Amino acid sequence: MSKFISTASRRIGFSHIAKSQIVWHSNERLFNTAAAVSLSSSSSSFLNIASPLQQHQIRTFSESSSPKPLTPYYEKKKKDKEYRRQVYDRRMANKLKKQLYQKHRIKGVRKKRFNDWFFKYIEDQDYHIGQALDENLDMRVRVVSVLQREPIVTHDRPQWEIDFDQLTQYLSQYGLTFPPGTDLSPDPIDIIPQEEFYKMNDEDLYHKLLPKGLVPMPRITEDDEAGNVKSMNRKLPLRLYLSTKFVAGAEKDKSSDEEKKGGNVWTFPSTIAKENETMLDAALRVFAETLAPGKELETWSPGTCPMVAAVVPYSESERALPQNAGYYGEKLFYFRIQCDSGDIKCTKAVQDYAWLSRAEMVEQARDEQGDDAAMLLEYLLVE
């Protein structure tokens, strides 16, 4: 083959052979020779003298070695770019959707609200303690008794929990079935007709399922309907806290906030701690002296540690009083006291009292003493 090409080159006068390649075909054991050549005007003569197989090989290689159009390449690049743009647009749309969704969610709002109040509260407390040390004045210790009545009935269930239970009961009828005579307790839907079951509330269901003679306590009492805040038989699902209003000039000294309001405000019962007396004993002494003389009120304290401590400075007029000489203000220690049984009986020092829930206490403090006192009760009390 190489001899034939060299002979043909001499006869037709090739200008030059640019490139040659020999490919071994393993099946037919043939040598296919391809050359990329720049043919002169006599290249047609070479095709005339070459065999048909040689002519086909030269034409095939000549066509394959010519530059291909770049249109498919640019089209592929364009499609890839469009795909990347679509992916980017979807990513940006999801990011914007997530931001709009989180904008309406309560995320970090309550934490920021607490931090804004708490750090300012701590800063004010440290300032008053430092001022007392600089002026070389003492703090009078006052013990505050947070008397609470525990919930009598279970808390009201949220609507989503009620809906979930109803859906669970509805789907349970398509679940497992047990043969009669087994010891497995029957489902309520098997005892009560289905149409009647889904129209019943919790109280109606308890009346149906509880044994005869056992009646559940009503969740809304007569005192709730009458609005009697002096009774503990109200708001049974919630905790109630005793709030008192002392008579002006009584043992309960007026604070600066009370003086600004022009009178006494609703507060927890409190007293000044005596020497050689623990703060817990002072907190229990409040009920024995001012609220419930005798043994009509049974109380219990869950611990000897106060819930929180707060510094209340005296105003200028309060410092001028003889009993407050040498004192910068009062340091209040709040103690949680639970009411086991009995009821309170107020003395003449107490002008008025009320059993209020956490929300009512916060609203009352906000109206009379401002947002700072309301925030303290909001984070101090339990629903």
Q: Output the pLDDT for position 133.
A: 92
Q: What is the pTM of this model?
A: 0.63
Q: Output the pLDDT for position 262.
A: 36
Give SS3 for 278: coil
For 10-48, the DSSP string reads HHHT-S-EEEEEEEEETTTTEEEEEEEE---TTHHHHHH
| 332: nearest Cα among 307, 366, 300, 362 | 307
Other CB atoms within a 10 A radius of the CB of residue 256 amount to 15
Q: Output the pLDDT for position 66.
A: 53
Q: Compute CA distances 3 → 7, 48, 150, 348, whole Å.
A: 6, 18, 114, 136
Q: Output the pLDDT for position 362.
A: 92
| Alpha helices per DSSP H over the chain | 2-12, 43-49, 52-65, 71-103, 109-134, 159-172, 188-191, 194-197, 202-209, 222-226, 256-261, 279-286, 316-319, 358-369, 371-380
Environment class of 243 (CB within 10 Å of its CB; exposed 0-12, middle 13-18, buried 19+): buried
Cα-to-chain-centroid distance, residue 109: 9
CA distance 368 to 383: 21
Q: Output the pLDDT for position 134.
A: 92
pLDDT under 70: residue ranges of the chain: 1-70, 102-107, 173, 175-195, 197-199, 247-263, 291-295
| Alpha helices per DSSP H over 135-278 | 159-172, 188-191, 194-197, 202-209, 222-226, 256-261
Q: Output the pLDDT for position 333.
A: 94
Bridge partners of 144?
Answer: 270, 334
| 7: nearest Cα among 52, 69, 57, 49 | 49
